[in-house]
C-alpha cells in the first residue's frame, strides 16, 4: 500500500467527532498527564499495576499517546496513529480491568488497591473509557480521518488551474 492509500479517506467530514473523541478527549490529555504527573498516572502507576520497566514504559506510552492523539486530532496519518493506540488499549484492559474482573492479580498485573468493587459490573464501570477508545481507534483505522482531515487534503492531487492550462 502506498502513502496515498494509507491517507486516502472518503469518510464523512463528521468523522472529526470521532477524531476529537479519541484524540482530544482521551489520548492527548492522558499522554500529557502521564508526563506531567508520572507518580500518579505514568511510571508510578505503571509500577503499581505491574507493567514491566515502568520508568521506561510510562514516559514512552505518554509520548505515544500525546503524539498519536495530536495526529488524530488534526487528521494526519490517522490510520497509522490509530494502530499504537489500539495496542495501548488492549494492554490497558488486560493489565487493569482483567484483575478487577477476576478479583485478584493476574500474572504480572496487580489489582489496584483503590478498587472497592470487583467482578463484571465493576470491571465494566472502570473499562468504559478504555472500551470506547478500543472501538473508536479501529474505526479510525478502517475509515481514515474523513474529508475534513489533513489526510484528505494531502491525498488528493492538486488539479491544475484553468490559467495554468493556458
In a domain, 123, yes or no: no
Q: Which three cell numbers stand for residue 52?
A: 514491566
Which domain covers residue 59, as residue numbers?
Answer: 3-91+130-153
pTM of the model: 0.88
In a domain, 44, yes or no: yes
In a domain, 104, yes or no: no
In a domain, 33, yes or no: yes
The number of folded domains in the chain is 1
- Residues 22-74 have pLDDT tens digits of 999 999 999 999 999 999 999 999 999 999 999 999 999 999 999 999 999 99
In a domain, 73, yes or no: yes
Nearest to 67, CA basis, from 88, 92, 43, 40: 88
- Residues 108-124 have pLDDT tens digits of 999 988 888 999 999 99
Residue environment code for 131-164, b if the CB has 16+ CB neighbours within 10 A, otherwise e: eebbebbeebbebbbbbbbebbeebeeeeeeeee
Cα(93)–Cα(63) distance, integer angstroms: 19
Question: What is the predicted pLDDT for the residue at 165?
Answer: 55
Confidence bin at 164 (pLDDT 50/70/90): low
In a domain, 18, yes or no: yes
In percent, the amount of the chain with pLDDT more than 90 equals 81
Within a 10 A sphere around the Cβ of 25, how many other Cβ atoms? 16
Sign of CA dihedral 58, 62, 68, 69: positive
Question: What is the predicted pLDDT for the residue at 6?
Answer: 75
The mean pLDDT of the chain is 91
In a domain, 116, yes or no: no
- Which residues, at least 6 apart from 97, have a Cβ–Cβ distance to it below 8 Å? 123, 126, 127, 130
In a domain, 96, yes or no: no
Task: Answer yes or no: is pLDDT of 163 > 50.
Answer: no
Amino acid at each position: 500500500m502506498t502513502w496515498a492509500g494509507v491517507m486516502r479517506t472518503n469518510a464523512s467530514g463528521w468523522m472529526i467527532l470521532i477524531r476529537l473523541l479519541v484524540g482530544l478527549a482521551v489520548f492527548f490529555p492522558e499522554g500529557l498527564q502521564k508526563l506531567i504527573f508520572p507518580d500518579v498516572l505514568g511510571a508510578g502507576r505503571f509500577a503499581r499495576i505491574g507493567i514491566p520497566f515502568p520508568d521506561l514504559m510510562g514516559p514512552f506510552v505518554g509520548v505515544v499517546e500525546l503524539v498519536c492523539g495530536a495526529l488524530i486530532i488534526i487528521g494526519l496519518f490517522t490510520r497509522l496513529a490509530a494502530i499504537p493506540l489500539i495496542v495501548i488499549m488492549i494492554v490497558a484492559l488486560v493489565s487493569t480491568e482483567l484483575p478487577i474482573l477476576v478479583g485478584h492479580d493476574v500474572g504480572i498485573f496487580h489489582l489496584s488497591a483503590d478498587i472497592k468493587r470487583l467482578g463484571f459490573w465493576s470491571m465494566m464501570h472502570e473499562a468504559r473509557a478504555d472500551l470506547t477508545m478500543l472501538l473508536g481507534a479501529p474505526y479510525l483505522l478502517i475509515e481514515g480521518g474523513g474529508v475534513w482531515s489533513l489526510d484528505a487534503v494531502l491525498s488528493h492531487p492538486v488539479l491544475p488551474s484553468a490559467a495554468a492550462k493556458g
